Chains A and B, each alone.
Chain A
């Protein structure tokens, strides 16, 4: 009946409780900015978990994941700005008006991110290894330059949102409401991802990571499986982008710059690849370091860089591996 609590279940319960209770704690301790900081952590955690799905389970090292993140943000911002100005996005052949409702904007952001992922994935997955890294990188840079030169939507300067999206029953302009929404969406995606990697689909994906030729010999169309996985991850990153656009009420091409992809990758590796919960921990660690290290030194990157190298060389399974020990492998 009662299982002895393991380090893993203890860490997960403690982490979940902390995230659930954060807004009241922040209000009581008089540090309400912590709520927006942790919203940001949850949003990046969503993006990092989606990258972990293709990286940790599919073995696809993408250095262009920020492209999907950025496109989700831009879709949301463009819809919102057209709604505010009352000008249709496409007057012809089909009328497409702007929209401020999250129920329209966010699914659309996910769909367009998924479409883009299908296109980029179909081309990039023809290759593997080093080629794949560089090609995903180049595609995201292509998108970055596209938005830099897209003067209609602010070009280099980016685009401001006039307000956060509307969602029935919630007031997203309140940071606490927004925080719990981010927490809910991130948790739902964690559950979906967990079910996915333990499903037959996930077994095939993990099989491709270990030995793709063998999976092909077993009769699996591995290209289609990997592409499907890539598209799912792209859609989730698109949702994270829509959330980040709402959180900061501002989007810029910088969201899809390759260094942003690098940061999301750092979160995954810092937390632990192929662990799903690890990237959440990684996102929290990275963003907290980024927030608080500058208090002590202006040149915090001088220490963060070597720290990353040390993590690579000595902590094979990231912080999550250190936290939960050997149970990491159970999922």
Chain B
């Protein structure tokens, strides 16, 4: 039972990280109609800048602030230099160009930080553990990650549903030309939305820093999971991204934790571990295929 709750919390934490990644990316997909493979690069930039600033200054909040500004700046710069020219192009051109961006950012990171992975310490004031449910200690850092993610989700909800800028973003998404004719600066709006997306990716990256190793290529592994989340949730839908992220986080974590044990009930131990492990690593893709058969446009499509 203890293990189940702990794994549920781990699943929640992965889900929240995935939500931060997919919220920005799904908007870029949905509003600008552009495939951006380089979103993982901003996750990586956030993690590297955060780890470096934290190590140099000794202050984790300062590291987060630096990571967020670096990711947002890099994002807005990339949007205005490259992405902006891709909005009217075919998807396949966008794939190629953003693949080129991945190569560029990965190599640049290797030049600046070298090939060795960086490690980031959990700040001492978050290094203990809390018993949220009596008898079950859970690392406070992971609790903090879950809390920050939940706050971001709430903030995004109010931003989109109840603010002027949210209204403008929704207007731009449903009809770019009309919104432009009504006096919204679409160009600036797109740069802003893109920068917000990369800021969230940078936040996800810096918060994942103390949990994972900070290395080149970390962006690509989470990017694919993010794609799965977005396909499950429905392209362009932030609510869909939230549901999809939690679903993927849970299925992935619980599958890895419990599938081998489940197969041991009726298979030999070595065989069960093999089958369990391979099914667990495939589970989210199977989930995605199943949802696709059931609802090809995702669970909560944006323009239903």
Contact = CB atoms under 8 A, between A and B. Distances in A.
B296 A133 contact: no
A299 B90 CA distance: 29
Given A308-B100, A313-B85, 6 more contacts: A137-B227, A145-B281, A146-B282, A149-B277, A266-B96, A305-B103
A138 B104 contact: no
Interface in A124-162: 126-127, 129-131, 133-135, 137-139, 141-142, 145-146, 148-152
Interface string B285-298: 11011001100110
A322 interface: no
Interface in A299-331: 299, 301-302, 304-309, 311-313
Interface of A: 55, 61, 63, 123, 126-127, 129-131, 133-135, 137-139, 141-142, 145-146, 148-152, 258-259, 262, 265-266, 269, 273, 299, 301-302, 304-309, 311-313
A309 B281 contact: no
Question: Per DSSP, are chain B's interface residues mostly helix, strand or loop, or mixed?
Answer: helix
Interface residues of B, number: 47
B251 interface: no
The 3 closest A-B pairs by CB, nearest first: A308-B100, A305-B104, A305-B103
Contacts of B90: 61
Contact of B96 (A134, A149, A152, A265): A265
A265 B95 contact: yes
Contacts of B99: 262, 265-266, 305, 308
Contacts of B297: 127, 131
A61 B152 CA distance: 34
A302 B104 contact: yes
Nearest to B293: A123
Given A138-B227, A149-B277, A308-B99, A301 B106 contact: yes
Contacts of B35: 130, 133
Contact of A312 (B97, B107, B227): B97
Contacts of B241: none
A306 B102 CA distance: 10
Contacts of B292: 123, 126-127, 135
A35 B296 CA distance: 47
A308 B102 CA distance: 11
Nearest to B276: A149
Nearest to B94: A312
Contact of A302 (B96, B107, B224, B285): B107
B235 A309 contact: no
B278 interface: yes
B132 to A, nearest CB: 32
A141 B91 contact: no
B52 to A, nearest CB: 20
29 contacts: A61-B91, A61-B95, A126-B292, A131-B235, A134-B227, A134-B228, A135-B231, A138-B285, A139-B285, A139-B289, A141-B285, A142-B286, A145-B281, A150-B274, A258-B220, A258-B224, A265-B92, A265-B99, A269-B93, A299-B110, A301-B103, A304-B100, A304-B103, A305-B99, A305-B102, A305-B107, A308-B97, A309-B101, A312-B97
B29 interface: yes
A306 B100 contact: yes
B100 A305 contact: yes
Contact of B29 (A123, A130, A258, A313): A130
Interface in B209-250: 220, 224, 227-228, 230-231, 235
B277 A61 contact: no
Contacts of B100: 304-309, 312
Contact of A145 (B91, B227, B282): B282
B93 to A, nearest CB: 5
B2 interface: no
Interface-centre pick from B37, B278, B293 (highest chain A CB count, 10 A): B278
B96 A311 contact: yes
B193 to A, nearest CB: 17
Given A145-B281, A304-B103, A299 B111 contact: yes
Contact of B288 (A61, A63, A135, A258): A135
A107 to B, nearest CB: 27
B102 to A, nearest CB: 7
Contacts of A299: 107, 110-111
A265 B110 CA distance: 24
Interface in B56-110: 82, 85-86, 89-93, 95-97, 99-108, 110
A141 B101 contact: no
Contacts of B97: 308-309, 312-313
A148 B274 CA distance: 11
Interface in B247-304: 274, 277-278, 281-282, 285-286, 288-289, 292-293, 296-297
